[in-house]
């Protein structure tokens, strides 16, 4: 089935204990769509905006992975969103060195007519107002809507965020965000409170400590793959969401048991992203490599009593 | 099969955000043997030392759970080991308020003749010298020896600790300890280095983030149960080890697949301990309650592709 993802397509400059990059392609929508491309071969649609500095070669690169870029607006005379950050030695925290909103400042999510029939919608982290507007601009409500958000919107746009939460099926956030959104330190109680705000399903990402799925009174936990080295964690969360939503769109099944499988596939995709800078590793995978990684998750977590 | 556990039987005074206790019974050996008592109904043997302040009612309490206390030395005119601590709000860190070694200062691990045939040996956290001496005093090497340790011994008794590591089958430590022992932040590399020091199997406990088992080139991960509230984490790690070793002794099977099952049972037992102060919750369980909790771990972590 078709997947529409909205988010950022941007430039990142990343510094980790292992090295640093110049401006490379990044952005939530880039990671989401690249991860989803291993599950859906067509109708992998994105809505995002870049400046005329983005370069046709970068767009061609997305197209090569089967990503439909009709919804990627190119603003002449403007610059793409740019983020620069430096990770600390433990890779669990980072400092933002630069954030240049540029084209993002006046982003209007125009949805191409050919995207109107999308069945699965992934709202990457943007202002809740844009996320709401995206849903409103779709003539028919998608079958399944997932959304990411961040602490900043809880600080400055909580009313909009709460409204957005009533319009979606699944929220995908990290543990810190779940605690701030709910005002509860316990993730179990946080999950209850957040589900009461609207979404039937909640995924709480815990980075190297895995991910929790809550819904239908059930809880599922997927570990992260223990890795010798995390080279660059940038985009891992978006990759997870993209793998999950790509898997759901491919299988067209939103039962709890299939969400569990989606979370395993999303976790597997995220485990690739952290192996190289930016989305580099996501560009050279194939089905066998992905399936072998999923088998590692099976070996890691499955047991028989 | 028979299990011999060596460690502390002691008094603790615990303060958490939920309340505080006067002196209550605690100590690594107490938690280990109580947890194991749900798996082995006889030959659940302990070697430990208390003062004459410990009280025959407390010993009777251990016996009521089928724990053999022939190896529990009672030192007349001396006092039991005492620890007092206060947990921080996040329950992940604590301050030690008091440590009174008392009888522990000159602990000589005397092994009763009736314990000599023990098949499974759990060396709770004590000086590595005592752990080594315990192994030496057994006429026949047990089938399977597991050991706990702590940062303190890495600081002041590393040579002894390294010697002990060559004598055991499985080390059970937490993530901080694994990092200090190996000098490597990556747990995957830490595990490789620690296995090279001797133990065929390594369990790394990550508290609320679950536990990892390494061995035979394989890795297994068991989640911790997501709980609404952790009331008191004291003894959770020892309970985990006791449940694991009790399960291994009961099933008398030390294959990797059975170690996986043991870790699930150990995790289930630990999830009970944190529900009440000290070892209180470990005293009123039954088989059906334990099995229902294990089923929660199945529901939490098992999936079908």
The reply to whether B206 touches chain A by the CB within 8 Å rule is: yes
Q: Is the pLDDT of residue A92 over 90?
A: no
What distance in Å separates the CA atoms of residue A166 and residue A159, rounded to the nearest whole number? 11
Q: Is the pLDDT of residue A93 over 90?
A: no
- Strands A211-215, B3-6: pairing is unpaired
Q: Give the residue ranges of DSSP H helices in chain A.
A: 28-36, 56-64, 128-137, 151-156, 158-165, 175-182, 187-196, 236-251, 256-273, 287-301
Instruction: Please report the pLDDT score of residue A98 as a whole number.
Output: 93
CB contact under 8 A, A228 and B186: yes
CB contact under 8 A, A206 and B210: no
The reply to whether B219 touches chain A by the CB within 8 Å rule is: yes
Nearest Cα residue in chain A from B204 = A226
* pLDDT, mean of residues A205-219: 97
Beta bridge partner(s), residue B74? B50
What distance in Å separates the CA atoms of residue B238 and residue B241, rounded to the nearest whole number? 5
CATH for A256: 3.40.1190.20
* pLDDT, mean of residues A216-225: 97
CB < 8 Å to A261, chain B: 303-305
Q: Give the residue ranges of DSSP H helices in A89-235.
A: 128-137, 151-156, 158-165, 175-182, 187-196
Instruction: Please report the pLDDT score of residue A299 as a whole number.
Output: 98
The reply to whether B226 touches chain A by the CB within 8 Å rule is: yes
E strand or H helix at B74: strand B72-75
Q: Is A211 helix (H, G, I), strand (E, B) or coil?
A: strand
What distance in Å separates the CA atoms of residue B102 and residue B50, rounded to the nearest whole number? 9
Instruction: Please report the pLDDT score of residue A300 as a whole number.
Output: 98
Instruction: Please report the pLDDT score of residue B92 as a whole number.
Output: 77
In chain A, the number of structural domains is 1
Exposed e or buried b per residue across B211-230, where buried means at least 16 C-beta atoms within 10 angstroms of its C-beta: bbbbbeeebbbbbbbbeeeb
Instruction: Please report the pLDDT score of residue B89 as a whole number.
Output: 82
CB < 8 Å to B294, chain A: 305
* pLDDT, mean of residues A263-286: 97
Q: Is the C-alpha dihedral spanning B181, B182, B184, B186 positive or negative?
A: negative
CB < 8 Å to B189, chain A: 228
What distance in Å separates the CA atoms of residue A297 and residue A276, rounded to the nearest whole number? 20
What distance in Å separates the CA atoms of residue A237 and residue A270, rounded to the nearest whole number? 7
What distance in Å separates the CA atoms of residue B221 and residue A225, rounded to the nearest whole number? 9
Instruction: Please report the pLDDT score of residue A256 as a whole number.
Output: 98
Residue A89: pLDDT band by 50, 70, 90 thresholds?
confident
Instruction: Please report the pLDDT score of residue B305 as a whole number.
Output: 93
ipTM, two decimals, is 0.94
pLDDT digits (tens, 9 = 90+) for A17-48: 989 999 999 999 999 999 999 999 999 999 99
The reply to whether B305 touches chain A by the CB within 8 Å rule is: yes
The reply to whether B261 touches chain A by the CB within 8 Å rule is: yes
Q: Is the pLDDT of residue A293 over 90?
A: yes
- Which pair of tokens denotes residue B105? 């200062």
- Which pair of tokens denotes residue B218? 């394989």
- Which pair of tokens denotes residue A84? 């620069």
The reply to whether B217 touches chain A by the CB within 8 Å rule is: no
Q: Is the pLDDT of residue A90 over 80?
A: no
The reply to whether B152 touches chain A by the CB within 8 Å rule is: no
> Quick one: which of B143, B116, B107, B120 has its CA closest to B36?
B120
* pLDDT, mean of residues A4-19: 96
- The beta-carbon neighbor of A228 closest among B188, B220, B223 is B188
Q: Is the pLDDT of residue A3 over 80?
A: yes
Domain span at B106: 3-301
pLDDT digits (tens, 9 = 90+) for A101-141: 999 999 999 999 999 999 999 999 999 999 999 999 999 99
Give the residues of chain B that fall short of pLDDT 70.
none
* A15, A273, B115, B192 from A232: Cα distances, Å: 8, 8, 53, 22
What distance in Å separates the CA atoms of residue B200 and residue B193, rounded to the nearest whole number? 11
- Give how far A108 is from chain B: nearest CA, Å: 39
- The beta-carbon neighbor of A228 closest among B189, B294, B304 is B189
């Amino acid at each position: 089935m078709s997947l529409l993802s909205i988010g950022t397509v941007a430039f990142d400059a990343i510094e980790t204990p292992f090295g640093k990059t110049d401006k490379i392609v990044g952005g939530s929508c880039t990671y989401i769509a690249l991860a989803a491309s291993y599950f859906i071969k067509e109708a992998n649609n994105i809505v995002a905006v870049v400046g005329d500095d983005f370069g046709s070669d970068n767009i061609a690169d997305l197209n090569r992975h089967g990503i439909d870029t009709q919804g990627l607006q190119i603003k002449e005379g403007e610059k793409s969103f740019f983020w620069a950050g430096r990770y600390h030695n433990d890779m669990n925290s980072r400092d933002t060195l630069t954030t240049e909103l540029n084209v993002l400042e006046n982003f209007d999510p125009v949805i191409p007519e050919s995207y109107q029939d999308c069945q699965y919608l992934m709202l990457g982290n943007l202002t809740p107002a844009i996320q709401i507007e995206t849903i409103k601009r779709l003539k028919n409500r998608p079958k399944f809507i997932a959304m990411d958000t961040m602490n900043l919107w809880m600080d400055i746009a909580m009313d909009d965020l709460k409204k957005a939460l009533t319009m979606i099926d699944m929220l995908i956030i990290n543990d810190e965000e779940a605690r701030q959104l709910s005002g509860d330190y316990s993730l179990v109680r946080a999950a209850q409170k957040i589900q009461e705000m609207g979404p039937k399903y909640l995924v709480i990402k815990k980075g190297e400590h895995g991910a929790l799925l809550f819904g239908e009174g059930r809880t599922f936990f997927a570990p992260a793959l223990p890795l010798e080295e995390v080279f660059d964690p940038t985009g891992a969360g978006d990759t997870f969401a993209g793998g999950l939503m790509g898997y759901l769109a491919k299988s067209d099944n939103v039962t709890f048991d299939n969400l569990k499988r989606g979370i395993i596939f999303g976790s597997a995709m995220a485990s690739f992203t952290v192996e190289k800078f930016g989305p580099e590793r996501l560009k050279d995978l194939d089905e066998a490599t992905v399936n072998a990684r999923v088998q590692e998750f099976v070996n890691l977590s499955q047991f028989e009593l």
